[in-house]
Structure 1
Amino acid sequence: MNREDMSRLDDYRLNEAGPLENDLVDELADGAMDREDFIRRATVLGLSMSVIGAALGAYGSSPAFAAPASIAQVGGRLRLGCTPPPEGKLDPHLYVNTGQQVTGSVTGEFLVHATRSLALLPELALSWKPNARATVWTYKLRPGVKFQNGQPFTADDVVATFKRLTDPKSGSQALSAFKGVLSPSGVRKINNLTVQFRLDGPNASFPYLTSSTTYQAILLPADYKVGTFEKTPQTTGAFRLVGYTPGVGAKYERNPGWWGGKASLDGVDATYFSEDSAIVSALLGNQIDLINQINVVTGRALLNSPRVKIFPARGAPHRQICMRVDAKNELKDPRVRRAIALTLDRPGIVKTLFNNLGQPGNDSPFAPVYPSTDKSVPQRKKDIPAARALMAAAGVPNGFEATLTTERVQEIPDYAVLVQNACREIGVKLNLKIETDSAYYGKAQPGQS
């Protein structure tokens, strides 16, 4: 135990910390969580790097963050490959697909940056702190930041951005994430560099919703006009979007007024690819330098190439197939849906689709990486007898026929085929209908997709 770190930590706990922060440090001291979990949860609560380092030092762990091994080379342009291409408009609050996310994130910034391990670091917010019940979160903003059009970044811009994200009339694609958590009236300006979020109820994970994990939450000027994102550089990031051709690519130049100083690159040239095989060939053929993601099934050549560096991330991305339960069909019965879930060989799916570079899911979008995940829930396994019993209880012992509609993104079509084959064991015949993103989501409104 380091005495200096302990003294610094004691001072923080006595004079600054609230009950949430003190409970967190107690869990670390008791050995109830490991170093990675502590860092992730501490950054969510807004503990400073010095306090995190003191806590880890006091209880025998290594430093929280290591210094970089080397300085990146300055200059040159990055050739970025992106799949799939953006679908629809580039207005951040309307983002629904990965192409839009990548295109916006090169130029846009968030209040908080989420690392690959889902620790949260300051970006346009310097700090964030909850009240004792985690119903009110106060954010201190970074001073001296300007938008690429020269306007200063202030609390007014944060308020306008989050009111847009939480307004049901705006078409916001982040609305489902904020529903029941934050209402438009809960976003308030305290002063030019302080914003307060008054939540609909307690939420200890709220900073994630203001981070890069909510990819629609790019900060924009208060007077932002919908439909102008690709026409006028107006974000705060290191690169300005200066050219965009739908389905083809985007061009970015270094932002000379970036608050973070001079960016390492002169610019970024993004090329869009509709087919996984094409982006794999382009990377192997040295036509591009970096791609945003790979489909393991079509990208095995990359996994086996000594010239390609794969950056794995422990996170929450997952593949899912949605079944309509709002119509008169057998899938409306939860027993039928549970029966289908029990036909799946989850380890086999992970091996086939992801070359074992993943974890079996448990029918929940809450990945193990999140502290809020209930890890006591038993892992669901393949159980055909139990599945058949559920089918009989639902009144369809001999199965049924249905259409399963899903999207042509990453491994999802191959996943749908595996589900289709698995369902045959309980007499369910699924006819697959695979659609593009734009056809599948439509206007992302009930009855229009």
Structure 2
Amino acid sequence: MSTPDVDALPQSWQDVLPAGPSRRGFLTLSGGGALAALLAACAPSVDATATGSGQRGGTLRVGTPPPPTAVDPVTAYDGTSIALYQLVAEYLIWLDEDFKLVPQLATKWTSDASGRKWTFTLREGVTFSDGTKLDADTVKATFDRLLDPKNKSAALSAFATVLEAGGVSTQGDSTVVFTLERPFSDFPYLVSAGNYNAVVLKSDYAGDFAKRGIGTGPFTFESYNVSTGASFARNPKYWDTPKPYLDGVEVRFYADDQADLVALQSGDIDAQFLSRPALVEPLGSSDGIAVDKVQSTGVIVLTLRVDQAPFDRKEVRQAVAYGLDRPAIRQAIGSGLGDLGNDHLFAPLFPAAPTDITQRAKDEAKVAELLKTAGLESLRFTLTFDPPNKDYAVTVQSQLKEVGITVDLDQRSSKEFYGGDQAKDTPWLFSTANLVGWVGRAVPSQLIIPMVKSNGIWNGSKYANEALDAAADAYDAATSDAERREQAEIIAKTLHEDVPIIVAFWSGAARAYNSGKFRGVQAHPGQYVDFTTVSRV
């Protein structure tokens, strides 16, 4: 994958691009190897067949759980569906494994002085797999579709308060203009792979992607069976020649993670879309299986509802936070991958993440002191969750029992946990305490705006703080790295003190594959899929 054309970005964006060596290097390499990897990552992409590092052709067989809903780029939210349509359709901007912006269907983007008007220039000569030309009207139609509430797009939460219907216009065939509701210097991320529903589709797209998935991407949708899998063929019209190197991709659905893993170990598949770190990490490089790993911004959040007892007292929320052994949780739930969390929403992967806030650690004496200050002799509460977070819930229950806090577990089916009326009674937003898994986001605002801003669309804690709201708005409007760090510190310290949410660790991301047959398969912090440079060994 090529690196971003920094000269094509406005100065404000050069200020805030992630800096320093590749974060992949810290996880998978050491010494001179890390430097070599960094230099390789910064080099232009080349044809694998020209370097002798791989061979063109072949079909990559990939395992994954079946998608729980229709494979529709407008409404899909699950990892499998996203991976499937990312093989076929593309974004204005891609994100690499360090969440850096990489020009894809757009070659450059600039903002005006106000930070509210963003102009994107489209790549020339791009066509959809059926021969239809990519133009500005097509891109406008894509975002008009995502912004129309009647389409129930999963992208609406990302655009909330930033871009509304009617905010997209064109200037000729190759220029698209986005007029925002307020200054937002991270806006390019919202039309990138960081907003995973924002793939560009044909103007006449009608929700039939699994039947006639047409995109500008490296592969074409050949077949789809909701029970067994899907197949993809190399797109001969792909604009980024000579990619892709593969002839095709065959996707097979497996009922659970264990079955998926057995298929990889037995050779029935060559790679996984959604590797579970706890299962694949022990494999190491055994039996020709390699596990690529990166830092991520994925996170399981323990939400505490601040508008009702017992968590209407800050000291009670702090007591729970001090009752947890974070390294042990990371080891038990994340197989030791990822970074420790400190009860705020700036993962270490985010460039503006504060580094001077003391890491919160388990402290039994502090727990007792805080509960006494709150006037409580003991604490008991119910923790609600769905099956994927059962191990996390049991771990929290066990750890808090050690410091005298009783936790009653309330497991719901995923359908029930996320069901109900989203405005008044859905468990994931209205229970006293709950666990919610959030996929990796490219920028912290994608977590802060919906989760902890006053009246945020997914504010399960019911937390409201005017100072945090103001700092979040200032962060969004900031155009320099220094200003971003200043506002980030205000937000992080406020959350760390008030504890409406507990972040024990930020997950790492992994992707397992057969390194004896293929090379170029990489993990991604957002679990995104780019197989354009995968080749046979």
* TM-score in terms of structure 2 length: 0.67
Instruction: Select the structure with the greater relative contact order (CA < 8 A; seq sep ≥ 6).
Output: 2
1:80 to 62, 77, 80: 62
The runs of 5 or more residues in structure 1 that have no matched partner are 1-8, 38-60
Identity %: 32
2:357 aligned with 1:390:
no
- In structure 2, distance between residues paired with 1:333 and 1:93: 40
Indicate the larger mover: 256-265 or 91-100.
256-265
Question: Which residue number corresponds to residue 187 of structure 1?
Answer: 168
Give the superposition deviation at 1:224. 1.6
Letter in 1 for 2:350: Y
Equivalent position to 1:418, from 366, 380, 395: 395
Query: What residue number does 2:385 align with?
Result: 405
What whole-Å deviation, never above 9, does each CA across 1:34-90 have from its counterpart, x for those lacking one?
3559xxxxxxxxxxxxxxxxxxxxxxx9797125584342111110111x3211122
Write the letter of the residue equivalent to 1:81: G
Shift of 1:439: 4.3
**Is the 8 Å Cα contact of residues 323 and 331 (structure 1) preserved in structure 2?**
yes
Which of 344, 353, 356 does residue 324 from structure 2 map onto? 344
The verdict on how the C-alpha distance between 1:118 and 1:384 changes in structure 2, with shifts beyond 3 A counting, is same
Higher strand share: 2
User: SS of the residue aligned with 1:34?
Assistant: coil
The corresponding residue for 1:317 is 298
Corresponding position of 1:20 = 12
Report the counterpart of residue 368 of structure 1 in structure 2. 348
Cα pair 1:316 1:365 within 8 Å, conserved:
no
1:399 and 1:329 mapped to 2: Cα distance?
A: 11
Residue in 2 aligned with 1:237? 217
More displaced 10-residue stretch of structure 1: 392-401 or 108-117: 392-401
Two-structure CA RMSD over aligned residues (Å): 3.1
Deviations 1:377-405 (A, max 9, x none): 33222223333333344454311241422
Q: Give the C-alpha shift of residue 202 in structure 1.
A: 2.3
User: Are 1:18 and 1:132, in contact at CA under 8 Å, matched by a contact in 2?
Assistant: no
| CA separation of 1:387 and 1:93: change in aligned 2, threshold 3 A | farther
Deviation of 1:423 after TM superposition, in Å, equals 2.2
Structure 1 segment 93-132 matched on structure 2, within 5 A: 93-132=74-113
Measured in 2, the distance between the counterparts of 1:135 and 1:216 equals 22
Change (3 A) 1:278 1:24: closer
Match of 1:255 in 2: 235
- Correspondence for 2:260: 279
Deviations 1:182-218 (A, max 9, x none): 2223222222211112222222222222111221111
- 3-state DSSP of counterpart to 1:107: coil
CA offsets 1:118-146 (integer angstroms, 9 cap, x no match): 11111111111222343222111112222
For residues 313-335 of structure 1, the C-alpha deviation after alignment (integer angstroms, 9 at most, x for no partner) is 23322233445667x55345554
Specify the alignment match of 1:4 in structure 2: none
Partners of 1:322 and 1:99 in 2: how far apart? 26
Report which stretch shifted further, 113-122 or 193-202.
193-202
Structure 2 residue 289 is matched with structure 1 residue 297: no
Q: Which amino acid aligns with 2:288?
A: R
User: In structure 1, what is the Cα distance between the partners aligned to 2:191 and 2:421?
Assistant: 22
**Letter aligned with residue 125 of structure 1:** A
In structure 1, C-alpha distance between the alignment counterparts of 2:316 and 2:83, rounded to whole Å = 37
Q: State yes or no: 1:34 paired with 2:16.
A: no
Structure 1 window deviating more from structure 2 (423-432 vs 121-130): it is: 423-432
Secondary structure in 2 matching 1:195: strand
Q: Which amino acid aligns with 1:400?
A: R
SS in 2 for 1:231: helix
The change in CA–CA distance for 1:223 and 1:299 in structure 2 (over 3 A counts) is same
User: 1 CA distance for matches of 2:154 and 2:345?
Assistant: 17
Counterpart position of 1:50: none
- SS of 2:157's partner is helix
CA distances 1:254-278 after superposition (whole Å, capped 9, x unpaired):
2222222353122111112232211
Q: 1:154 to 1:421 in 2, by over 3 A?
A: same
Q: How far does the alpha carbon of each residue in 1:95-132 deviate from its partner, in whole angstroms, 9 at most, with x for none?
A: 22212211221222111110101111111111112223
Matched residue, 2:185? 204
Q: 1:373 to 1:190 in 2, by over 3 A?
A: farther
| TM-score in terms of structure 1 length | 0.79
Q: Relative to structure 2, which stretch is displaced further, 354-363 or 389-398?
A: 389-398
Question: Which amino acid in the other structure matches residue 102 of structure 1?
Answer: A
> In structure 1, what residue type is equivalent to 2:327?
P
Match in the other structure for 1:57:
none
d(CA) in 2 for partners of 1:18 and 1:91?
A: 33
Where does the alignment leave 5 or more consecutive residues of structure 2 unmatched? 1-5, 24-37, 428-537
- Matched to 1:20, the amino acid is S
Moved more, 427-436 or 365-374: 427-436
Question: Per the alignment, do residues 196 and 68 of structure 1 end up closer, same or farther by CA in structure 2, a change over 3 Å counting?
Answer: closer
Query: Secondary structure at the residue paired with 2:366?
Result: helix
Aligned pairs, how many? 401
Verify the 8 A CA contact 1:322 1:406 in the aligned structure 2.
no
Give 1:17 deviation, angstroms. 8.4
Q: Deviations over 1:246-296 (max 9, x none)?
A: 243111122222222353122111112232211111111001001123323
